[in-house]
Amino acid sequence: MVALAAALPSAMAAYAGFNYGSTFTTGAAKEQSDFEAEFKTSQGLVGAPGVFTSARLYTMVQAGTANDPISAIPAAISTKTSLLLGMWASAGDAVFANELQALKTTISNYGKDLNGLVAGISVGSEDLYRVSPTGVLNKENPGAEPLTIANYIKQVRDAISGTALAGVPIGHVDTWTAWVNASNQAVIDGCDFIGVDAYPYFQDTMPNSIDNGKSLFDAAISATQAAVGGKPVWITETGFPVSGKTVGQAVPSTANAKTYWDQVGCPMFGKTNVWWYTLQDAAPQTPNPSFGIVGNTLTTTPLFDISCKNVSTASASSSTPSSTGSASGSGSGSKSSTVSVPTSAVAGGGSPGAGSGLASSQLSLETSALPTATGTGSSSGSGTGSNTTVVTTGTPRPSTTVVTTPNGAGVVSGSVGAAFAAVMAAILVL
């Protein structure tokens, strides 16, 4: 299998944490004490396989203000929580200017207190997916064009130059179907890291029962790695709902959420940068579907066993390519299954995003109180695959040809298509 996810230098541990929004479902802004409560809960989860001490944010702006820094910043400092900072990039230049100002103020106000706490800065979240044919078809909220995101990345790079955050990795978070689309190459070129959101639960154009969840996830990451030219791949969102509607063959339940955690999460925790979706999906109302591992009441007792005991972790590997571009892994305890799929990438339905028409957690997670800031839907077009071995002679690069799948998702042909076909061929011989 083309190697999964990025490894930090050996002297460092991989980041592990969850995604956090700026507001509650009531629209009320989260304050410093709210973030502190969430971060402490994450760090104290009963049975956790290690400590979840990192938080991914979607905006730099405190809800209800024009450009004040989000109160998650001082909360992270006080609780020693590392941060994948987020900047909302789908609401136009004026709103992004406020995000940039909030970043600058954060550096000015907190400076050296942030040393060692900032994992990276994500410029945008699923903006490319939402502007794609699939995003438009799914009636997602507005996105942003690749050249816009590339320009925003440059602005952020200029803004942190010579500051306490100089040298912090800058990247973008999007769905794997966005990363394998050659029209988004300008964003890849501008990134230090590639953030991937992948949800087999929403992959309803393919067999997406929980038995195939790991295969779907693995292929999504493999296809992304093949497309991004050796850049580190971080897992910025993935998870399986504990309750809610059935999508295709994917049935939400705590049992299935545990299976997905065991098969997908456990092999990566401590080895790969992972921000799971999520600790608490939304509060006080429970969204449909709900991905929160503790439910809508903040508690250190998860809804299912998260210990990773008696779970194989042999399948986790670095996504920093080797000289031969090959890697291998073994299954994590799931039964073998054959998935018959097309050899081109196919996007599934929406994700936990507000734009998907669901009463969704991302409405809380990905919006600030600014009227112009909009929520997202995740693609989740994660392709299919298997935890098997795929050997390449180098890192495939995308061609400039974009083809359209039957559901309207633009994907690349050529080298990336060939790489994806290789993954599919390996699956079909299981």
Position 422 pLDDT exceeds 80: no
3-state helix, strand, coil in the chain (%, to 5): 30, 15, 55
**376 pLDDT above the threshold of 70:** no
String of b and e for 196-206 (b: at least 16 CB within 10 Å)? bbbbbbbbbbb
Which residues, 6+ apart, have CB-to-CB distance to 250 below 8 Å?
200, 201, 202, 203, 204, 208, 209, 210, 213, 240, 256
Domains and CATH numbers, the chain: 16-428 (3.20.20.80)
How far is residue 203's CA from residue 201's CA, in Å, rounded to a whole number? 6
Structure tokens at 52: 């979840």
Using DSSP, state whether 22 is helix, strand or coil: coil
pLDDT at site 282: 87
361: DSSP letter: T
Structure-token pair, residue 84: 């994948």
pTM over 0.75: yes
What are the distances in angstroms from CA 392 to CA 284, 384, 386?
A: 48, 18, 16
The residue count for the chain: 430
- Cα Rg, the chain, nearest whole Å: 19
Distances (CA, A) of 311 to 223, 262, 357: 25, 6, 36
Which of these is catalytic: 36, 140, 237, 366?
A: 237
Give the three-class secondary structure for 389: coil
Q: Are 36 and 63 in contact (CB under 8 A)?
A: no
Closest CA to 128 of 419, 423, 402, 417: 402
Tell me the range of 227-231, 333-337, 375-379 where mean pLDDT is highest.
Answer: 227-231
> Per-residue pLDDT for 174 more than 80?
yes
**Which one is catalytic: 36, 99, 126, 140?**
126
pLDDT tens-place string over residues 59-108: 999 999 999 999 999 999 999 999 999 999 999 999 999 999 999 999 99
Catalytic site includes residue 36:
no
263: which DSSP letter?
Answer: I
Within its chain, how far is the Cα of 117 from the centroid?
Answer: 19
* pLDDT mean across residues, the chain: 79
SS3 at position 73: helix
d(CA 337, CA 395): 28
